[in-house]
Structure 1
Amino acid sequence: MSIVYKCRHCGHVIGEIEEQIVDTSMLGWDKLSIEDKKEMINYNSNGDIHIHAICENCEDTLGQHPQYHELDFFIQ
């Protein structure tokens, strides 16, 4: 099983955890609302988990252009 963190905007793989057992509270998942979990966490049939997050480059871009927050995708 792998937990793959991917940028929701550019698709860049931010990081990957390859463990059979993971304490999700250590990853902060217990702090997410039900809506955030549904939006951010996807479970694949092979057991992998994909997390939609934001990479540093896209976070910087959003900081410089706050109007981009209104868009689902700002990278064309």
Structure 2
Amino acid sequence: MRIEYICRHCRQKVGQLNQPHWTMADVDVRLGLGRLTPAERLESVQMDTYDDMRVYTVCSYCENALREHPELLLEGKLLQ
């Protein structure tokens, strides 16, 4: 299974794991995704047609921008 971490704001790739022998149960336990609520999982995790997983997170650039300018979230988009 390939797991990509993508920033939910700027859509930049944050990282990637290639674990061909992992099952969904492995992902839930090893990456902590099993602790997400169904709503959080729906918002943060997507599977594509090749069974690759995308996990939406926040990159350090966007995290710093939000910390310094939290009003950016009120505008609907972090980066314009």
TM-score when normalising by structure 2: 0.85
**What CA distance in whole angstroms lies between the structure 1 residues aligned with 2:79 and 2:18?**
29
Cα deviation for residue 69 of structure 1 reads 2.8
Q: Provide the secondary structure at the position in 1 that maps to 2:63.
A: helix
**Unaligned ranges ≥5, structure 2:** none
Superposed, 1:9-20 pairs within 5 Å as: 9-20=9-20
Q: Provide the secondary structure at the position in 1 that maps to 2:30.
A: coil
**Unaligned ranges ≥5, structure 1:** none
2:71 corresponds to 1:73: no
- Structural RMSD (CA): 1.4
Cα deviation for residue 17 of structure 1 reads 0.5
Residue identity (%): 28
- Higher helix proportion: 2
Give structure 1 regions of 4+ aligned residues with deviation exceeding 4 angstroms.
Answer: none
